[in-house]
Amino acid sequence: MIWDFISYIAASPSSFHAADQGATLLRAAGFSPVVETEQWNAEPGGHYLIRDGALMAWFVPETAGPQSGFRIVGAHTDSPGFKLKFNGNSTAFGFNQANVEVYGGPIIPSWFDRELVLAGQVCLADGTTKLVATPPLLRIPHLAIHLDRSANESFSPDRQRHLMPIFGVDPTVNLMDIVAESAGVGHNQILSHDLITTDAQPGECFGIKSQLVAAGRLDNLSSVFAGITALIQAAQDIVIDGSGGDDVLVLACFDHEEVGSQSATGAGGPLLEDVLLRTATQLGANTDEHKQMLQRSFCVSADAAHSIHPNYSSQHDHENFPILGHGPVLKINANQRYASTAPTQQRWLSTCAAAGITSQVFVGNNSVPCGSTIGPITATRLGIPTVDVGIPLLSMHSARELCHTTDLEQFTSALTTFFVI
């Protein structure tokens, strides 16, 4: 499984690629595409749709109807990085540079002195869109220690002046020429773009028994891949032995979580709500029955968690911390930065027990603020009981993060069990 995951990451340098690659996996498993501007498909079987960088998939069992609920796994396809500005080509002192904007909350020093790919979506003059990923192209170079003797004591680059990657010393070359060539189109065909930097180095297994994984975008492709794998496996189990009951299985992989989820493809938008409503309607539910279906539903918000760091253990609560390699993590926050409640915690812990695994717990240090997820947003929009979970990481939001193979395998098993029990 782990090499399939590493291959998925390599093929998913942007949220658009992550959604597209996920659709490829679903299609190979028999899921069929749905077009949002056409009649909705809620016939028995698997279905999916892509909206830009978001991927929605759902499996309808033969017995589904207005008496059903929805079992939802939510995740997000985007990761922090640097997005190319609209006018992204720049030169200074003979260097070719890319004019970029910080996306989300990257650990900025981790992006220096590594080769970067530029990847995402270009929109063409004829109204079509195309995925593109350049070869290793960009690099943000550090200033030599000789010219900044304080570099090891403090490092706070100016986001406008110091984060512009270089890609050559040829003033005749325009960055969009390279993008266009990579996309297989002419420069003048590209009217707009959504392109982000990503680490060019592929994922690697290392350490004792090669159980540690270093790769970019583990937050949150670890959850996206686990969710896709679990949905496919659960659908196959239902077809083969009829397990899973009447509930419709749903995978919701949103974009723009790293910048607040407030977009047409983010968890703050109507995408998941539309999928659930249109599915319920096609299953024969009226307005009141649709609301009943929501109240029979449950959502697992799947997003990476913070493993305790052996060199910075004081940043964690000393009783409520996870460790790499010890299983998936239940995430709890009294201020609803995570959506977990006592009843939803119980359901997650029971699901893990049914899968034969043990869940760890993360509750933050009171002096250290934690992040948030799509969980509270989904719970607020839909009123569906929600639990926040994920696999533990080190170096979260670095250009290259760290996880453990056991955690990904166990997390996938837990999500599969959630779908079918």
Domains of the chain by residue range: 1-79+216-420, 81-200
Q: In terms of CATH, what superfamily is 1-79+216-420?
A: Zn peptidases (3.40.630.10)
Across the range 364-376, mean pLDDT stands at 93
pLDDT band at 90 (very low <50, low <70, confident <90, very high): very high
Identity at 179, one-letter amino acid code: V
pLDDT band at 78 (very low <50, low <70, confident <90, very high): very high
Dump pLDDT digits (tens) for 206-260: 999 999 999 999 999 999 999 999 999 999 998 887 776 899 999 999 999 999 9
Across the range 19-30, mean pLDDT stands at 98
Question: Mean pLDDT of all residues in the chain?
Answer: 96
- Cα angle at 196 between 195 and 198, to 5 degrees? 140
Domain boundaries 81-200, CATH class: mainly beta
- Cα angle at 271 between 265 and 275, to 5 degrees? 145
* Weakest-pLDDT range from 85-94, 239-248, 323-332, 342-351: 239-248
Rounded to the nearest 10 degrees, the angle between the axes of helix 2-10 and helix 405-420 is 100
Identity at 161, one-letter amino acid code: R
pLDDT band at 333 (very low <50, low <70, confident <90, very high): very high
pLDDT at residue 134 above 80? yes
Taking the C-alpha atoms of residue 106 and residue 204, their distance in angstroms, rounded to an integer, is 21
DSSP structure string for 173-239: --HHHHHHHHHTS-GGGEEEEEEEEEE-SPPEEESGGG-EEEETTHHHHHHHHHHHHHHHHHHHHHH
Taking the C-alpha atoms of residue 163 and residue 159, their distance in angstroms, rounded to an integer, is 6
Asked if 289 contacts 66 with a C-beta cutoff of 8 angstroms, the reply is: yes
Percent of the chain past pLDDT 70, that is, above it, reads: 100
Instruction: Confirm whether pTM is higher than 0.95.
Output: yes
Q: Which tokens go with 417?
A: 């069990």
Dump pLDDT digits (tens) for 52-71: 999 999 999 999 999 999 99
Give the model's pLDDT for residue 216.
Answer: 98
Taking the C-alpha atoms of residue 286 and residue 224, their distance in angstroms, rounded to an integer, is 32
Taking the C-alpha atoms of residue 386 and residue 405, their distance in angstroms, rounded to an integer, is 26
